[in-house]
Amino acid sequence: MSVYKAIAVLPDRRVDTSAGRARRLTGRHHHTPSTTHHTGILLSRCNLQDGNSFSGLSVHIVVAEDLVVHAGRDGGLKTMEIQGILKLRISDPDYGYIKVQVDNTDSRPIQLQTHPNVDRELWRSCGQIGMKMSNKPFPHNTDVGVLKWRFQTNEEKHVPLSINCWPQENGAGSCDVNIEYNLENLEMELSEVVITIPLAPGAPPPVINECEGEHEYSRAHCALVWRIPVIDKTAPTAAMDFTARGVPDNFFPVRVSFNSTRMFCDIKGYLVILHSFRNLCGD
């Protein structure tokens, strides 16, 4: 079993995953747009306006998702877990008493939990985020987590991209390696895709036989880096063949990173409300 990881940032989504043979891609999301080994991360920061009530910088909504995927080296998804958080940042104290409408239109069994200081009755009845104590505003100039969600699955249909890595020994102390990817979710568009294949320690640069996209040898990390500008429904699959010194174990785990504008969980529809929840609930 292995773990591969992802990072995503909206409007760009970056995913950093570690994958083995027939490894599926998803990962953890976080508001730090890093491409390290952190299990994925997703951030969406929006400037919202409610008619003439809000300036562009008054209210920010930050949505982050962490995805952790466990997959077998020879294929098959073991577990996939998504942990998400919605944060508010109020840059103008005059808007500290706002409420935010959140729409969860995802049909999957996602578990949601509000912060203890959030009005739970308001959330249950209207799907709105507001302070439990009406005379207490949201903190000023601070990212405040107000809603968390969690989703677990072992169904491969939820994974957006698959990675297949097939090293085969050629009898000369080297391996002929074929690696390919397939976009499983054709509604997604992935950009700045980077696939990193580890090489045997101290091995010379590999011989590239075929490659769609760009490639480079990283001596510092002893790895082969494959870069694809865009993966979408018009070009959902491609492959690379190379020969390198080593045994099959040397070419795992494979790491993948990319950007995308789509969230994994369908939690959206943010509407900033200046008045009480009577506006939407009819109380």
Look up the CATH number of the domain holding residue 170.
2.60.40.1170
* 197 and 152 in a common domain: no
- Residue 84 pLDDT more than 70? yes
* 86 and 203 in a common domain: no
* 30 and 150 in a common domain: yes
User: Three-class SS of residue 276?
Assistant: coil
User: Three-class SS of residue 195?
Assistant: strand
* 96 and 8 in a common domain: yes
Give 27: exposed, middle or buried? Use CB within 10 Å, 0-12, 13-18, 19+: buried
Per-residue model confidence as pLDDT tens digits over 56-65: 468 888 887 7
* 177 and 152 in a common domain: no
> Exposed e or buried b for every residue in 175-184, given b needs 16+ CB within 10 A?
bbbebbbbbb
Provide φ and ψ at 128, rounded to 5°: -110, 150
* 230 and 151 in a common domain: no
Give ∠ CA 235-241-242 in degrees, rounded to 5: 145
* 145 and 219 in a common domain: no
Total number of domains in the chain: 2
* 166 and 128 in a common domain: no
Per-residue model confidence as pLDDT tens digits over 118-169: 999 999 988 888 899 888 889 988 889 999 999 999 988 888 888 889 999 9
Nearest CA among 186, 162, 197, 182 for reference residue 80: 162
Provide the token pair at 80: 């996939």
Q: Which residues, 6+ apart, have CB-to-CB distance to 52 below 8 Å?
A: none
- The answer to whether 118 touches 129, Cβ cutoff 8 Å, is yes
* 149 and 130 in a common domain: yes
33-47, 48-62, 126-140, range with the lowest pLDDT: 33-47
Nearest CA among 200, 168, 194, 170 for reference residue 181: 194
β-pairing, 8-10 vs 42-47, is parallel
* 274 and 186 in a common domain: no
Residue found under tokens 């249950």? 124
* 166 and 72 in a common domain: no
* 11 and 120 in a common domain: yes
Beta-carbon count within 10 A of 76 CB: 14
Give the range of the structural domain holding residue 83, as residue numbers without chain letter. Answer: 2-156+266-281
Per-residue model confidence as pLDDT tens digits over 154-213: 988 888 888 889 999 999 999 999 999 999 889 888 888 999 999 999 999 999 999 998
Task: Give kind and range of the element (H or E) at residue 217.
Answer: strand 214-218
